[in-house]
Amino acid sequence: MSNRHTIQLCEAKMEREDCRILLTICVALFVSRYVEAQLINNTAPNLPEGETLSVEPNLTKSVLLPNVSLSLAGSKQKQFQFLDNVCQLPKIVGPCEASISRYYFDPKSERCALFHYSGCQRNGNNFSTLRQCQRRCTCSLPKDTGPCRADFRRFFYNSINGRCEEFRYGGCNGNSNNFISLGECQGACIKDTPAKDACYQEKDTGPCRASVPRYYFDSSCLCCKIFIYGGCKGNDNTFKTLRKCQSKCK
């Protein structure tokens, strides 16, 4: 029996309470499938220029029938239920005059992003490294294949069992708990030994004034880069050769 036929049948017998319940269920199914089809094809009406919608719209759509009210909340809201409250706090630069590189989680893009912190009046959505932000926020997002129909091999962090697992990504939208390799997922989401954690320390040239070529692991691109080391102090994210950096951190 089609959804439309079921709705018509129920409308003819609205005096029966059980049919009113069935009507609500039928409308929920019908509307959810209609909205999904519209969003997959980006044909939903009244879209602002340059914007598209996915199967997880950040909207709440309501359907009103006689004495029946049905609200369909987009699954973006469901995804936010997985997030730590800290991850939903706004970015705060603060009023001071320093310029300190920090990371925050942007709920709109569902990604950790770099910003410059002034040095005072911070909130919890302020992380020293990209990895700290990812562990707290990105890695808590649920698996999201996205609405498209490609078939890419990707990995996500399963916060229930604490493991990185393979999944098939559709190729568009989704969220940032989506890693190209198992190693990338593990590096972002799984706590490793102190030696591995050294790879996610910020680059530190040290206070001295020598000019020594060294390599460090850049967690933003998951790659090793050359930098000029001052010759003293610094931190453990400092390697004499590119090969040593890659063998330790990639």
What is the predicted pLDDT for the residue at 26? 55
Give the pLDDT of the chain (250 residues) as one tens digit per residue.
555 555 555 455 444 555 555 555 555 555 445 444 444 444 444 444 444 333 333 333 333 333 333 333 344 444 445 566 788 899 999 999 999 999 999 988 888 999 999 999 999 999 998 888 988 898 889 999 999 999 999 999 998 888 899 999 999 989 989 999 888 888 888 865 455 567 877 889 999 999 999 999 887 677 899 999 999 999 889 999 999 998 887 6
- Say which residues have a Cβ less than 8 Å from residue 181's Cβ, sequence separation at least 6: 155
Residue 126 burial (C-beta neighbours within 10 Å; 0-12, 13-18, 19+): buried
CA dist 60 and 178 (Å) reads 26
Angstrom distance (rounded) from CA 56 to CA 72: 11
Domains defined for the chain, CATH in brackets: 3-73 (no CATH), 81-191 (4.10.410.10), 197-249 (4.10.410.10)
Residue 172 token pair: 């568009």
pLDDT at residue 231, as a whole number: 94
Closest CA to 188 of 249, 143, 248: 249
At residue 186, the pLDDT reads 85
The 10 Å Cβ neighbour count of residue 46 is 4
For residue 165, the model assigns a pLDDT of 92
Contact 41, 60 (CB under 8 A): no
Contact 239, 245 (CB under 8 A): yes
Q: What pLDDT, on the 0 to 100 scale, is given for residue 56?
A: 37
Predicted local confidence at residue 89, as pLDDT = 92
- Strands 60-65, 68-73: pairing is antiparallel
CA distance 18 to 51: 41
Query: Taking each helix axis from N to C terminus, what angle separates 17-40 and 3-11, rounded to the nearest 10 degrees?
Result: 150
